[in-house]
Structure 1
Amino acid sequence: MQYRRFGKLDWEVSVLGFGAMRLPLVDKETGKVDEPETIRMMRYAVDHGVNYIDTAYPYHEGQSEVIVGNTLKDGYREKVKVATKLPVWLVEDEEGFDRHLNEQLERLQIKKIDFYLLHGLNSWSWPKVRDLGVIRWAEGAMADGRFDYLSFSFHDNLEAFKQIVDDYNNWALAQVQYNYMDVDYQAGRRGVEYAANKGLAVVVMEPMRGGQLAKAPGPVAEVWESATQKRSPVEWALLWVWNQPEVSVGLSGMSTMEQVVQNVAIAARAKPGILTAEELTLVDQAREVYKGLAPTPCTNCRYCMPCSSGVEISGIFQMYNEAMMYENPRAARLAYGGLKEEQRADRCTECGECMDACPQEMDIPGWLEKAHMFLAPKEESGS
């Protein structure tokens, strides 16, 4: 296992962290985790050098924290740092901060949490909890010994990320989505550099983009096959993240023991600068090939938004494109099913306002119709 300094702290973290969001299930039900197998997997990871476990209040309908707590018994608590997250969207007053933290301590069956993150901050949720006094409350909770370090995870744009980083001078870490396909998405590469330069540890989530980069479609597989040094798609994705010295730890949401064994082995080679300039160029080529698999020319510039009819135009095109790029229609259809009815593609009135704004000169109503045919249940799409 390789280790790196964790921001400003006098502590080294394993480059691989265990993300407890995609644990093995019983009967494919999110809230029914295979606990014996999960404990076996986590303890294998810890026995092979992993010293960072990440969970959160809502993961697996609240069961993730409980199972992490059970994993930490038998002497394993002393071997790892534990990170969990406050569900900021559920908090309406300062009492809510205490209520959730105390419940999480009970679930985890520990006296103190190492890193307590404000979960999924964005330009809306950060002002909300900031104005509720979360910083004052957190400093009190650290003083009374319930957790050691305040941190945050993030889902928004770079401007919002920088604002959050700058609003408090004692963040321990920033957790961001980052992988070779998302260099300009949300905080992106510039956010990773910004946080690291401010002395924060950078925790990367979704280095495999939710598993989408684990299996390369044919044209991308050809790119990897052209490399002198042969690697699996998983290894290319993880080493690309770990190649960057600004990254402290990459979280992997491992669902099988096979994945744990594989990722632990890759992490043993994960030194900054491990990829050559030629190999980094190859990753750039793979990114462009993936983009070329997208059916629509949408660049997600969002000039078409907001739609006067309420249709989530750019989001729908992103779902449609990613379904094809990563050969994962199921995930895209689940996301589409989560939209409000008025946001769906079949609510387009063909007014043409979006077409006038589109730099790509897309036939947006036509593409929305195709996207709906693909993403909607068959009885709704008419197929």
Structure 2
Amino acid sequence: MRYRRFGKTNLWLSVFSLGTMRYLDSEAKAIETVQQAVAQGINHIETARGYGKSEEYLGVALSSGVDLPRSQLYITSKIPPTAEADTMRRYIDESLKRLKVDYLDCLAIHGLNTWEHLDLVENSCFSGVQQAIKDGQIRHFGFSTHGSLELILKAIDSGLFEFVNLHYYYFFQRNAAAVELATQKDLGVFIISPADKGGRLFSPPTKLQDLCAPFSPLALNYRFLLSDRRITTLSLGAANPTELTQPLSVADRDHPLTSEELKVLADLETHQSAILGTDKCSQCYACLPCPENINIPEVLRLRNLAVAYDMTDYGQYRYRMFENAGHWFPGVKANRCTSCGECLPRCPENLDIPALLDDTHQRLNGPSRRRLWE
């Protein structure tokens, strides 16, 4: 296991952090998984008020013989933005009680996803956080986000936060500018769900496996992230001890990408361009805003991956969350397109966006999906 400085918090975190969103139905599995993770070098565990019984189960696990002093075990919990400082203080007290700890090493705003959320932090609940810090209940403050790049940059630049939890992977590099700005501002960078949201890479399609050979797609994505020294730690959402094995097999491989790895990544790009041809969306986001509130770049990113790499299962998983996950995954499905044409002159590649949106909907639509803890 390798350890890195978590920005201005000055905490040294393991390059993999144990995320506990999937501790929804088994206290025994939670205890076993936490103990095994700590035994293998993980010193940072992340939970949230909104993750079902996760805080409660983690509290039991932490009091069940974890072989690491509290001063060397770092606990993060997340609380949504609140309209009142007193509500934030109450939520903090409740989280501490469930976790059976006297303080949180890190508290993150959970889901700073809209401009209204940032306003709530700046003008409402931040004073409650400040008081909790003064009282010794919280040591460091940050935010977790599924929001737009513009919002993330604004939040990083606000000076309120010491770390950021965000989406950034080989197959989604939109937030590269946020990683860079966080580094410049000395914020710790925590990458959310690189195995699942990063492409469901724990069960990759055969085509993607073949294109990534001799590496697995998951290991290659981990290496892409671990080789980036701006990134502190990656979330590992193991629901049982066996799910620790594959990620932790690369936990000491944080050296620069090798020539062979770089060649595979370059070949992936070449393959995508060849397969998609003139239908490839380059993710410039110039097509937005859409009057129907379609997240055109994200829809077409999912199409890129499905067509080029057979990542249809992942595309369906994400696409079906449109209209069902609120601000966690904003936008409507592509069949809402009215072919108004407003996006067409803004596209530098002259894509037939309405036709591509229709094609994506036909490929990826199906039963609705919701957030896991819902």
Name the TM tier (shorter chain): 0.7 to 0.9
Which residue in 2 is equivalent to 1:276? 258
Name the CA distance, whole Å, in 1 between partners of 2:184 and 2:343.
40
Name the CA distance, whole Å, in 2 between partners of 1:214 and 1:22.
15
Segments of 5+ residues of structure 2 without an aligned counterpart are 368-374
With over 3 angstroms needed to count, the CA separation of the structure-2 counterparts of 1:345 and 1:92, relative to structure 1, is same
1:306 aligns with 2:289: yes
Deviations 1:186-220 (A, max 9, x none): 3x2x3223322322222222323535233443443
1:285 aligns with 2:277: no
* 1:45 Cα offset (Å): 0.7
5 Å-filtered alignment, 1:146-295, equals 146-168=137-159, 171-183=161-173, 185-186=174-175, 188=176, 190-210=177-197, 212-225=200-213, 230-267=214-251, 269-273=252-256, 275-289=257-271
Contact 1:57 1:65 in 2 (8 A): yes
Name the CA distance, whole Å, in 1 between partners of 2:178 and 2:130.
25
Name the CA distance, whole Å, in 1 between partners of 2:136 and 2:205.
49
Q: CA RMSD in A?
A: 3.0
Among 23, 29, 35, the residue aligned to 1:37: 29
Which residue in 2 is equivalent to 1:67? 57
Segments of 5+ residues of structure 1 without an aligned counterpart are 24-31, 379-383
* Amino acid in the other structure paired with 2:32: R
Deviations 1:136-170 (A, max 9, x none): 3322111112111111223334443333223226x
Which residue in 2 is equivalent to 1:98? 89
Contact 1:6 1:13 in 2 (8 A): yes
Contact 2:29 2:239 in 1 (8 A): no
Name the CA distance, whole Å, in 1 between partners of 2:27 and 2:288.
44
* Amino acid in the other structure paired with 1:247: I
| Aligned length in residues | 355
Which residue in 2 is equivalent to 1:7? 7
With over 3 angstroms needed to count, the CA separation of the structure-2 counterparts of 1:119 and 1:279, relative to structure 1, is same
1:111 aligns with 2:102: yes
Name the CA distance, whole Å, in 2 between partners of 1:346 and 1:159.
26
361-370 or 310-319, larger mean C-alpha shift: 310-319
Which residue in 1 is equivalent to 2:355? 366
Name the CA distance, whole Å, in 1 between partners of 2:143 and 2:178.
13
Deviations 1:302-342 (A, max 9, x none): 444334445554444344444554231540353246289x9
Name the CA distance, whole Å, in 2 between partners of 1:313 and 1:8.
36
Name the CA distance, whole Å, in 2 between partners of 1:98 and 1:261.
38
With over 3 angstroms needed to count, the CA separation of the structure-2 counterparts of 1:349 and 1:334, relative to structure 1, is closer
Percent identity (aligned): 27
Residue aligned with 1:149, SS:
strand
* 1:68 Cα offset (Å): 1.4
Which residue in 1 is equivalent to 2:22? 22
Which residue in 2 is equivalent to 1:84? 77
Among 291, 295, 312, the residue aligned to 1:327: 312
Which residue in 2 is equivalent to 1:55? 47
* Amino acid in the other structure paired with 1:198: K
Contact 2:85 2:127 in 1 (8 A): no
Residue aligned with 1:182, SS:
coil
* Amino acid in the other structure paired with 1:85: K
Q: TM-score, normalised by structure 2?
A: 0.82
With over 3 angstroms needed to count, the CA separation of the structure-2 counterparts of 1:44 and 1:303, relative to structure 1, is same
